[in-house]
A and B are shown apart, each in its own frame.
Chain A
């Protein structure tokens, strides 16, 4: 294995079957991926399980990954995002659109005040509030302000233009502020 910490080079080596390179990628990105999922679910064990799934899926799909198309972290966040959506879909055991997933999550929490209180006590108000935003707004807030990805990286991960990402950030910040103020009052 080449002695490099460049994520793109690591993923190219991993594509060629270099297990050590994939191990290094894993060490670099497991925590960000876990935190991304945790910000979307607020469940520690579930986030670990889904983060594991993300890396296994990433490894299995290495042949299809194009290093020039998106940076490795954006690629992993894309898989993580889909894994979270799949999880909510399976949990509800119904098929619904991505926008409905957030609504379903909110309804679930409103119907279960104990669970709502647990989330607020285990994570901060903002993290709890993030989960009430529409999925694309959750993505942009998590990637931009929790993971500190650039707008270009977020655009690649979400399949949107950078202008669209900027507009989405603006709306997401406004929504998050409104929701978190409600939490503070309650």
Chain B
């Protein structure tokens, strides 16, 4: 037992010099007090290195097996990285089926349900629109009005050929008067509206005539000059 008797720091220093590329003879010379131990240390290191070089090599089979394993893993890796890549392995195909197909299936079911609902709604819109009680009443009144109008026309000797009779006369007929209850309100409103508008227009015309009558010719001439000054 030689070098194990050396203090740790001496061994560390000697190995550090060796790592720096110093020749063994120079390192041994650097520790004159521990020459035999340092010599023994590097003899042992040399022995370890020699045995390391004698370690067996792996067989060719092992090399081939790893290459195959890694190749399969690479295909999986590439398939995972690129969703558009073709299925590298059966496992990647399987994971696609069990994973992505579930999503596609769910979307398909939802789309089918939406289509069925749309078709049902479309059919429903082609059905006659149910009338509210008010609508029904208006319709009945209109039909009654038409019937009574026909009867009145027949009674007055107005045939189909005299359909061009004046609306005033038609409106004055008893049938129209009796059936006019449905539209009487709106007629009254419209009549009042037009009456107000006529009265307003008449009032405006009267006021304008009065103003113009009070304006003398000189004022009008001045006004013409002012307007001309703004003209380009």
Q: List A residues at the B interface (Cβ < 8 Å).
A: 17, 19, 22-23, 26, 30-31, 34-35, 38-39, 44, 47-48, 51-52, 55-56, 59-60, 123-127, 141, 145-148, 150-151, 166-167, 169-171, 173-174, 176-178, 181
CB pair B56–A44 under 8 Å, yes or no, is: yes
**Shortest Cβ distance from residue B60 to the other chain A in the assembled complex, whole angstroms:** 11
- Give the secondary structure class of B's interface: helix
Within 8 Å of chain A (Cβ to Cβ): is B58? yes
CB pair B56–A147 under 8 Å, yes or no, is: no
The 10 closest A-B pairs by CB, nearest first: A146-B52, A48-B62, A124-B51, A145-B48, A170-B11, A34-B58, A174-B4, A35-B55, A170-B8, A52-B66
Interface size on B, residues (CB 8 A): 37
| A126 CA to B15 CA, complexed, in Å | 19
Choice from A48, A127, A151, A171 contacting B58 with Cβ under 8 Å: A48
| A42 CA to B178 CA, complexed, in Å | 120
Q: List B residues at the A interface (Cβ < 8 Å).
A: 1, 3-4, 8, 11-12, 15-16, 19, 41, 44-45, 47-49, 51-52, 54-59, 61-63, 65-67, 69-71, 73-74, 77-78, 81
- Give the secondary structure class of A's interface: helix
Choice from A31, A167, A169, A181 contacting B1 with Cβ under 8 Å: A181
| A23 CA to B61 CA, complexed, in Å | 15
CB pair B19–A177 under 8 Å, yes or no, is: no
Choice from B1, B45, B69, B74 contacting A145 with Cβ under 8 Å: B45
Residues of A within 8 A of B61 (CB): 48
Contact (A26, B58) CB under 8 Å given A59-B74, A145-B48, A145-B52: no
CB pair B74–A177 under 8 Å, yes or no, is: no
CB pair B3–A127 under 8 Å, yes or no, is: no
